[in-house]
Amino acid sequence: MPREPSARSPVELVIFDCDGVLVDSERVAVHVDQRVLAHLGWELQIDEIIERFLGGTTASFRAAVEQHLARALPETWESPYEAWYEQAFTDELVAVDGIEEALDALDVLTCVASNGPHAKLNRTLGLTGLLHRFEGRRFSSDDVVHGKPAPDLYLHAAQTMGVAPARCVVVEDSRPGATAALAAGMRVLGYAGGLTPGRWLHDLGATVFDDMRDVPALVAGMR
């Protein structure tokens, strides 16, 4: 059962998801995902890819493809496609609009916790000029056994930062991420300025917003 955070607990840590929250990577990646899936033999529309895969792990993506194709993928199945993502990110990736203003205005600890591997996390934050803002405060599904929607990653981040879960606020844009944060006993700000419909996040219990510049005021209101 999800733990219930106290609405009166002071906020000491804001944990940001990365893809779609710090970096506008999902708008780029979803089109590459479509090409990858088609090459593997699974034709999906963009809205179907968002519905099925947004916010998930590489392992869950692979498992879904294997189930649909009724065959196992080789261990090196990703190798032919890595250059596709690399080129798309190099050409198109930008920081989420308003995120730098939000980070500048926050007066509490911050960190990032992503379902992506550390290599991808460092790459995308580096490309958008945000890497230095989270020095020593970057957490990945590489660090835990179970990524989102399990609460493990957010609990690991909070424990490492020395903050109780009830005093954490998570900024998320996906259902797996919001589910993970709520299960960890954290409050959730659900960003609906990207690909995720706001109703998905609202229905889970997140406070929905669509402009990153609003984050400092929303966090202050929770305090």
82 is a domain residue? yes
By three-state DSSP, how is residue 187 classified?
A: strand
Cβ atoms of 177 and 26 closer than 8 Å: no
pLDDT for position 186: 98
Domain check: are 19 and 48 in the same one? Answer: no
pLDDT for position 178: 96
Cβ atoms of 191 and 202 closer than 8 Å: no
**Which regions of the chain are under pLDDT 50?**
1-3, 6
- Give the residue from 98, 113, 95 showing the smallest Cα distance to 172: 113
- Give the residue from 106, 219, 206 showing the smallest Cα distance to 168: 219
Domain check: are 21 and 48 in the same one? Answer: no
* Per-residue pLDDT tens over the stretch 90-145: 999 999 999 999 999 999 999 999 998 999 999 999 999 999 999 999 999 999 99
Q: Measure the CA–CA gap between 176 and 178, rounded to whole angstroms.
A: 6
Place of tokens 């992503």: 114
Domain check: are 33 and 17 in the same one? Answer: no
Structural domain range at position 69: 26-92
- CA distance between the termini of the chain: 25
5-31 CB burial, b ≥16 within 10 A, e <16: beeebebbbbbbbbbbbbbbbbebbbe
How far CA 7 is from CA of 71, 135, 167, in Å, comes to: 47, 29, 9
pLDDT for position 16: 98
pLDDT for position 1: 45
Domain check: are 61 and 118 in the same one? Answer: no
What DSSP string describes 94-113?
A: -BPTTHHHHHHH--SEEEEE
Domain count, the chain: 2
The number of residues in the chain equals 223
Q: Which residues are catalytic?
A: 17
Cβ atoms of 95 and 115 closer than 8 Å: no
Which CATH number belongs to the domain containing residue 107 in this structure?
3.40.50.1000
CA dihedral 2, 6, 9, 12 (to 10 degrees): 20
pLDDT for position 8: 61
Q: Show which of 74, 92, 110 is a domain's final residue.
A: 92
CA 61 to mean position of chain CA atoms: 15
Q: What is the pTM of this model?
A: 0.86
